A and B are shown apart, each in its own frame.
Chain A
């Protein structure tokens, strides 16, 4: 194996290790955020936490080298889904009054 090959291999391994640390952090953050969504009981606050969870999950996908999925996750998970839920909550509150 030539020196250049070896250097390339070492560089790859080093990069992988760094990304792995970031991936672990993202995985833990996702677990924390997902638990927070369940722990928060008031729907309106839950929606805000859910939005944050969407952002964290997007970051997780980014660390696993899926930028396309990240974009979809952030737009749908932290913008559109919370918005629809908030609208539903507003509608329900109006009916209760």
Chain B
């Protein structure tokens, strides 16, 4: 195929795509005009039914809790996959990092990066926990909170403390936290079965005042477990990749 033919094929395909795209755009509802009934229904009943003022969390962890369970396990399986692919094979052995470019000086971590990382670590932990534990009251939730929590671990690494990072997140503990977080979400659903309700039904007391921290029953509980799972999953992925990058490994022995 000559370049000219290739260009022509591309242009024809693009013209076709553009045509279909513009045709599709004409069928969209107008900007800001929501056509479906579900959003309006959820807006009308969510706070009264779940006592969660964070309606997005109410949708995520109650109305479509089963979907969220599936999404949760996507991340769980992804982290498991990374850990499996990057595991120590029998033929591999760790080698202490060696200086492969002795004539080149390793630039030290700059004071600015180190100071920023140290200053940010505390607030990041607080924000992460706050997001994880306030899904029922404000727009937040376990996923966002979990990622922010994992960021705190990465900040420690950025501060030049790889060893501290490793000690703070030992593989076994991270693994266990991830499994406990993911399993507890599923277990909360089973709890509803035990009392005779459908899977993942919010069977816990909802609390008296919507928007209070102790309201919304299982929504807050699930968000907490999701936070644990997500934080552990991201720390696991990062530490596996950091290990790959920082430690030189070689096959055969």
Interface residues of A (CB under 8 A from B): 16, 67-68, 71-72, 75-76, 79-80, 83-84, 87-88, 90-91, 94, 97
Contacts and interface: CB of A to CB of B under 8 A. Distances in A.
A84 B144 contact: no
Interface majority SS (helix, strand, loop, mixed), chain A: helix
**Considering the complex of A and B, which 3 residue pairs feature the smallest CB-CB distances, nearest first?**
A71-B144, A75-B147, A67-B139
A91 B148 contact: no
Please indicate which of the listed interface residues B57, B143, B244, B245 has the most CB atoms of chain A within 10 Å of its own CB.
B245
Contacts of B242: 87
B201 interface: no
Contacts of A76: 147
Interface residues of B, number: 24
Interface stretch (B8-16, B42-50, B107-115, B233-241): B233-241
Interface majority SS (helix, strand, loop, mixed), chain B: helix
Contact of B238 (A83, A90, A97): A83
Interface of B: 32, 56-57, 100-101, 131, 139-141, 143-144, 147-148, 150-151, 154, 234, 237-238, 241-242, 244-245, 248
Please indicate which of the listed interface residues B131, B141, B147 has the most CB atoms of chain A within 10 Å of its own CB.
B147
Contacts of B131: 71
A93 B150 CA distance: 26
Please indicate which of the listed interface residues B140, B234, B248 has the most CB atoms of chain A within 10 Å of its own CB.
B234
Contacts of B244: 87, 91
5 contacts: A68-B144, A71-B139, A75-B151, A79-B154, A84-B237
Nearest to A74: B144
Contact of B154 (A68, A83, A88): A83
A72 B143 contact: yes
Contacts of A16: 32
A94 B244 CA distance: 11
Given A71-B139, A79-B147, A80-B150, A97 B101 contact: yes
